[in-house]
Amino acid sequence: MSPPVARSPGGSGAGRSEPAQSTSTTPPRTVPIQLDGWRLTLPVNARGALSGTATQLDTAAVTAPWLIRNRDGSVTFWAPAQGATTASSEHARTELVSTRDWMFGTDGVHRLTATLAVSQVPQEDPDICVGQVHGGGSIKSIPFVMLHYRDGSLVVVVKQELQGTASQSISLLTGIPLGGVFSYTITDDGDGTLGLSATYNRLTGTHTARVMSVFIGTDQRFQVGDYQQATSAASATDGGRMTLYALNVS
């Protein structure tokens, strides 16, 4: 496996794709985020309470206060540290779930690119998963690739086995403050490798990881949003908040 590479946009590195450059805390020019082709998981149950089993909308839509649209076309996600959760997780989330699944490593190239800024992290654990490659179908409870904004660093966790907890952690970038606008790309290269890239303030970190054979040919999908990693709340306003400025799946 190749080590992560930090470089300026003009250099060479291990990654095969680069997101658009973002700098400091200045929001980029935004094309309105399109919610077509996504479902939406909310941190409330069917009665709207912050407890029990999380609700999933079959068609994603602006749903205040969990997902709101801003005047520039961006969308802001809010997930409280204490809220309704999915059956396979103890962490509340407000997260987009792609309606388009594919077979990993055998179905061509699939790429997720996003530009965003995290403005709040939970007090108990300052960690938000902002992007995933997640199992579908018979393995819908298994997260495969998780990109974490963790106390200012971008860390990718790649699962190494279908059953069990073995995983590889990859550090892409550090030093991203709250409010800092950054971009990332996650790519199924179609040949059994996973391409990872992130850019902040003219620095890019890239990595190419070899995927364990047990994941080749498995049903996967992209997920994007505010999957905060705390399990308890210091107050009603404790949780994760992030704004998505650009989103593309190709």
| Fold that domain 5-249 belongs to in CATH | Jelly Rolls (2.60.120)
Please report, for residues 87, 121, 183, 207, 217, the alpha-carbon distance to residue 197 in angstroms, rounded to integers and kept in the order given: 30, 22, 8, 7, 23
Pairwise pLDDT comparison (229 vs 7), residue with the higher score: 229
Q: Distance between CA atoms of 190 and 182, rounded to whole angstroms? A: 26
What integer pLDDT is reported at residue 25 of this predicted model?
A: 67
With a cut of 90, say whether residue 167 has pLDDT above it.
yes
Number of residues assigned to the chain: 250
- Gap between the Cα atoms of 196 and 189, Å rounded: 10
Give the pLDDT mean for 149-154. 97
Q: Which of 46, 221, 35, 30 is nearest to 117 (CA)?
A: 30
Percent of the chain's residues with pLDDT above 70: 90
Tens digits of per-residue pLDDT, 78-136? 999 999 999 999 999 999 999 999 999 999 999 999 999 999 999 999 999 999 999 99
Contact call for residues 194 and 2 (beta carbons, < 8 A): no
What's the pLDDT score for residue 15? 33
Distant-in-sequence, close-in-space partners of 150: CB < 8 Å, separation ≥ 6: 126, 127
pLDDT greater than 50 at residue 1: no
Confidence of residue 4 (pLDDT cuts 50, 70, 90): very low
pLDDT band at 141 (very low <50, low <70, confident <90, very high): very high
**What are the tens digits of pLDDT across the range 11-49?**
333 333 333 333 466 777 778 999 999 999 999 999 999
Residue 245 has pLDDT above 50, yes or no: yes
Residue among 80, 71, 163 nearest 121 (CA): 80
**pLDDT tens string 45-75:** 999 999 999 999 999 999 999 999 999 999 9
Among 66, 68, 62, 70, which residue's Cα sits nearest to residue 36?
62
| Average pLDDT of every residue of the chain | 90
pLDDT digits (tens, 9 = 90+) for 230-240: 999 999 999 99
CA distance 86 to 83: 10
Structure tokens at 158: 């790649």
